[in-house]
Structure 1
Amino acid sequence: MPIREILQLGHPTLRAVALPVPDPTTPAIAALVDDLTDTVGHWRETTGYGRAIAAPQIGELHRVVLLRLPGKPVWPLINPSIVAHSPEKMVVWDACLSFLSIFMQVERYEWITVRYQDLLGQWHETHAGAEDDLAELLQHEIDHLDGILSIDRMVDVKSLCSREEFERQHRAGSPYAQK
């Protein structure tokens, strides 16, 4: 499948709400997942960033998220939704393939439970916490499905920094340090 263009900050599709996928078993959804896999893989190889991607980032308004964590199988989530979350929140560094030149600190729940379908249409629930920074990553990607960007969740505009400065000061202690 092709590597797709990632829409950049300011593109109106990034602010649109994605539509539910009525049938996750269709060839069109399988092709979309392949495109997401290839696209995020390409970005990871060429920039060192890219652990996940949401369909709206490549211009597809479907509720599809794909995780590609180092050393783990590719994980597509169809129609994901957060069904439970911790009362506690945490502040984490965040960035996005749709505006990779800037980083900021955002507030996220410490843990979440996500309900989603797989490519066979089966429903699952997963509990995500600090391991693999999965809670913050899933919250970021599910936000994309609702037209919410990490800059909308920035805790303090003073945390905003360039990619170069983030790499100098903060990358080693962040999820982005993993290759």
Structure 2
Amino acid sequence: MPIRDILQLGHPVLRQIAQPVPDPTAPTVAALVTDLTDTVAHWRETTGYGRAIAAPQIGELQRVVLLRLPGQPVWPFINPSIVAYSPEKTVVWDACLSFLSIFMQVERYEWIMVRYQDLAGQWHETYAGREDDLAELLQHEIDHLDGILSIDRIVDIKTLCSREEFERQYRADSPYGRS
């Protein structure tokens, strides 16, 4: 399948709410997952960034998220929702393929429980914590499904920095420093 263009900050689709997928087993959903897989793989190869992507980022207003963690199989989440979360929050560095030139610190729950469907339509629940920074990553991607961007969650405007400055000062100690 083709590598799709990623919509960039300011594109109105990024602020829209994605619609539930009525039939996760539909061939169009499998094709969308393939496009998301190919697109995020391309970005990872060409920029060094890209662990996950949400369908709205390629212009598809469907509730589909794809994780592509290093050394693990791709993990599609169809109709994901956060069903529980920790009382504690943490501040983490965040960036986005839709505006990869800027980084910022955001506040996220330390752990979450996510309910989602797989491509066979089966429902699952998974715990996402600090391991692989899964809690932060899933919160970021599920936000995309609701038209929320990480810049909406910035804790302090003074943490906003360029990609170059982030790489110089902070990348080694962040999830982006682990490949």
TM-score range relative to shorter protein: over 0.9
The structural deviation recorded for 1:178 is 1.8
Determine if the alignment matches structure 1 residue 39 to structure 2 residue 39: yes
CA distance in structure 2 between the partners assigned to 1:46 and 1:11 by the alignment: 22
RMSD: 0.3
- The two structures have a TM-score, normalised by structure 2, of 1.00
CA distance in structure 1 between the partners assigned to 2:113 and 2:6 by the alignment: 28
TM-superposition CA deviations, 1:45-81 (whole Å, max 9, x none): 0000000000000000000000000000000000000
- The two structures have a TM-score, normalised by structure 1, of 1.00
Give the total of aligned pairs: 179
- Matched letter for residue 23 of structure 1: D
Q: How does 1:10-159 map to 2 (within 5 A)?
A: 10-159=10-159
1:104 alignment partner, SS class: strand
CA distance in structure 1 between the partners assigned to 2:34 and 2:19 by the alignment: 19
Percent identical:
85
CA distance in structure 1 between the partners assigned to 2:106 and 2:177 by the alignment: 18
TM-superposition CA deviations, 1:11-60 (whole Å, max 9, x none): 00000000000000000000000000000000000000000000000000
Determine if the alignment matches structure 1 residue 177 to structure 2 residue 177: yes
CA distance in structure 1 between the partners assigned to 2:38 and 2:126 by the alignment: 24
- Matched letter for residue 36 of structure 1: L
The structural deviation recorded for 1:125 is 0.2
The structural deviation recorded for 1:2 is 0.3
The list of structure 1 runs, each at least 4 consecutive aligned residues, that deviate by more than 3 angstroms after superposition, is none
CA distance in structure 2 between the partners assigned to 1:40 and 1:112 by the alignment: 23
